[in-house]
Amino acid sequence: MAASKSDMQIVKIDEGAVNARILARESKADFRRVEAASIKVVARLTSAEGKRLFVRFFSTLQLNAHFISVIARTRLESADVAKVEEAIKSRIDGVATNLNQAIDGAEALFKANGITSAATYDTKPMEIEVGVISSTGRRYLELIAKLDQLMPLLQTLEIHEVINTQVLDQQRATLKRQVRDVANSARSLASGLRRRMNAMAAAAGSAARGQGAAGDAREGSEEHHNNGVVEESPEGAEAVASIEAEHRGEGARYESPADEPAPKAGDPD
């Protein structure tokens, strides 16, 4: 009887445990209070680099982009928010250009050296349906996909000794850092807008308290003329305090994500 393909394997191959381990080790972003429609997209990633960047940064990038475009716009000038949005998109476009050039360069080396097929992964692809809630999120997902496309091309060139291991490591590290820095930049920009919002709320609260104190003094001098009846204003410190409380709540809901977690032991970065 002929041996089956599985019987002929001389090594054990992954059956999905790698993806489960990657997903289990990463914290889950909280989207429960993001009231936004989303386009459902199946993200399919094959490289270790693409998988880990996606899990660590895609959701937090989306949360920070949502804070910038939606929450910050309720308190700050739309033109100021638009500048921040444009800065993030320009950074994404710059990294996309670098990745496209790297892919074109790798394909040119394939052709020049007669390489007809790229290396493939024995680990299972990671396939996850995600909700894309903004154009920034869509662009970033496309960026991760480009990196995922490039990684096996570079690995193939190293296997055929077209490039050496040092060049492979340098290109891989540089492009991974650029993709990661897009998400870190979005977090920093969101934090900057949050500080401006908090400063505005604090200034409004101080002004309201000052007006309230002056009003109390005036009302005290008028009480005996009005038989002790003091009319309450619907505005003032209590209204501002309510706004500040709401603002603090928004800030808590959209805290900037922490820096990239340190790789776990045995977890390639």
Extract the tokens encoding 94: 């710059």
Q: Which amino acid is at 269?
A: D
Mean pLDDT check: name the lowest of 15-19, 153-157, 259-263. Answer: 259-263
Q: Is the pLDDT of residue 167 over 70?
A: yes
Separation between Cα atoms, residue 170 and residue 260, nearest integer Å: 20
What is d(CA 263, CA 25) in angstroms, rounded to the nearest whole number? 10
Q: Which pLDDT band holds residue 250 (cuts at 50, 70, 90)?
A: very low
Contacts of 18 (CB under 8 A, 6+ apart): 123, 124
**To 5 degrees, how large is the angle CA 72–CA 88–CA 147?**
135
* More reliable by pLDDT, 77 or 4: 77
Mean pLDDT for all residues in the chain: 82
| Least confident range of 14-18, 146-150, 163-167, 249-253 | 249-253
> Residues 50-93: pLDDT tens digits?
999 999 999 999 999 999 999 999 999 999 999 999 999 999 99
Please list, residue by residue across 122-161, b when 16 or more beta carbons sit within 10 angstroms of its beta carbon and e when fewer do.
ebeebeeebebbbebbebbbebbbbbbbbbbbbbbbbeee
Q: Which pLDDT score is estimated for 216?
A: 61
The secondary structure of residue 161, as a DSSP letter, is T
Q: What is the three-class DSSP state of 231?
A: coil
The tens digit of pLDDT for each residue in 112-142 reads 999 999 999 999 999 999 999 999 999 999 9
DSSP label of 234: S
Burial 221-250 (b: 16+ CB within 10 A, else e): eeeeeeeeeeeeeeeebeebeeebeebeeb
Please, which residues bridge with residue 127 across strands? 44
Strands of 18-84, DSSP E: 39-45
More confident residue, 125 or 220: 125
pLDDT for residue 268: 54
201 pLDDT tier (thresholds 50, 70, 90): confident
Q: Model's pTM, two decimal places?
A: 0.75
pLDDT band at residue 206 using 50, 70 and 90 as cut-offs:
confident
Closest of 176, 126, 104, 160 to residue 16, by C-alpha: 126
